[in-house]
Chain A
Amino acid sequence: MEWAVFLPAAALAVAGGVGVVAARQPVHSAIALLIVLAALAVTYLVLAAQFVAVLQVIIYAGAIVVLFLFVIMLLNVRSGEDLPVKLPRQAAVAAVAAGVYLTALLVAVLGAARPFPPAPDGFGTAQAVGAALLADYLLPFELAAVIMLVGIVAAVLLGRRPPAGRGDR
C-alpha cells in the first residue's frame, strides 16, 4: 500500500528535479523546485516525520521558493545561456563524474534493503521533535537563532543601495 504513495511521489520528485536542472527560464526552474518540495513532503509523511513535512512546506515551499521568485523577478534575469561558452569540456566531464557517483551511491545504498521496524506512537510529532530540540539540542537551537540574526543583518547590509554619488556607477 505504501508503494501506491511512494511511487507517484518519487516520480514527481524526479521529474521536478530534472525540471529544476534543465529548465531554460529560472522561473520554470523555481516552479519545478516547488513540485519537488511537495513530493518530498508527502514522502516525509509516509516516513512518520509529520512535523518535518509541515516545516518543509512552510519554510521551504512557502518562504524560500517565494524568495527565489522575488529575486528572479527583481533582477529581470535573462537566461544567460546564449553567451560564449568558456568551459567547453565541463559538461562532458561533469556527466561522467555524476554518472560514476550515482552508480557508487546506488551500490552503497543497496545494502540497506530491510523493512522498517514499526514506529511507536508519537514518533515524528511536533512534541517529539520539540522535546528533543529543547532538551538534548538546546545549544544548537539557540545558535540557530543567532545564525538567523546574522543572516538578517547580512541581508540588510548587502541589500542596501549605496549612498548617492559614491563609486564607479
Chain B
Amino acid sequence: MVPATAYLALSAVLFTLGAAGVLVRRNALIVFMSVELMLNAVNLAFVTFARQHLSIDGQVIVFFVLVVAAVEVVVGLALIGEIFRSRETVDIDDVDLLRG
C-alpha cells in the first residue's frame, strides 16, 4: 500500500519545483506556468488528505481551485498580453517601474 507520505512528498517536490521556477526564470509565461505547477501540487495534497480523512470536502476545494485557476489564467494571460504588447520581450525584470 502506498502510504499518504509518498503522495505528500510528491506534492512537496512539485511545489518546490514550481517555486523555484517562479524565482529563477525570467520569461513571464514560464513563470506563470510554474505557478500553475504549484497549484497542481496543492491540489494533489488536498486530494490525498480527502482520501485519508474520507471527507469529500477536500475534493470540493480542488474543484474550486480548478475554477479559480482557470479564471486566473484567463485574466493573467490577458494582462501579460497587454503589458508585453508594446515591448519585444516578455522579461518580467523589464517591468520595474514601481520602485522606491
Binding site for B on A (CB under 8 A): 2-3, 6, 10, 13-14, 17-18, 20-21, 23, 26, 29-30, 33, 36-37, 40, 43-44, 46-49, 51-52, 55-56, 59-60, 63-64, 67-68, 71-72, 74-75, 77-81, 83, 86-87, 90-91, 94-95, 97-98, 101-102, 105-106, 109-110, 112-117, 119-120, 123-124, 128-129, 132-133, 136-137, 140, 144, 147-148, 150-152, 154-155, 158-159, 169
Q: A6-B6, A77-B29, A102-B16 are in contact. Are A48 and B51 (CB under 8 A)?
A: yes
- The answer to whether A112 and B37 touch across the interface, beta carbons within 8 angstroms, is no
Minimal beta-carbon separation of B8 from chain A (angstroms):
4
Whether A116 pairs with B51 at a CB distance below 8 angstroms is yes
When A2-B2, A21-B34, A144-B64 are in contact, do A128 and B81 touch as well, CB less than 8 Å?
no
B18 neighbours in A (Cβ, 8 Å): 17, 20-21
Contact (Cβ within 8 A) B70 A64: yes
State which of A60, A106, A147 has its C-beta within 8 Å of the C-beta of B9: A106
B residues engaging A (CB < 8 A)? Answer: 1-10, 12-21, 23-30, 32-34, 36-37, 40, 43-44, 47-48, 50-52, 54, 56-57, 59-60, 62-64, 66-75, 77-82, 84, 86, 88-91, 93, 96
Q: A64-B69, A86-B93, A129-B63 are in contact. Are A155 and B75 (CB under 8 A)?
A: yes
* A-B contacts, 19 listed (Cβ < 8 Å): A6-B6, A13-B14, A14-B14, A21-B20, A26-B27, A33-B36, A36-B37, A43-B10, A55-B63, A64-B36, A68-B73, A75-B90, A80-B90, A101-B19, A109-B12, A133-B63, A144-B67, A155-B74, A158-B75
| A40-B44, A129-B60 given; A55·B66 CB < 8 A | yes
Please determine whether B1 and A116 come into contact, CB atoms closer than 8 angstroms.
Answer: yes
- Chain B interface helix/strand/loop/mixed: helix
A106 to B11, CA, bound (A): 10
Whole-angstrom distance between the alpha carbons of A148 and B70 in the complex?
A: 8
Q: Establish whether residues B12 and A106, one from each chain, have CB atoms under 8 Å apart when the complex forms.
A: yes
Top 9 closest pairs, chain A to chain B, by CB: A151-B71, A21-B21, A94-B23, A158-B78, A105-B12, A109-B8, A17-B17, A102-B16, A155-B78
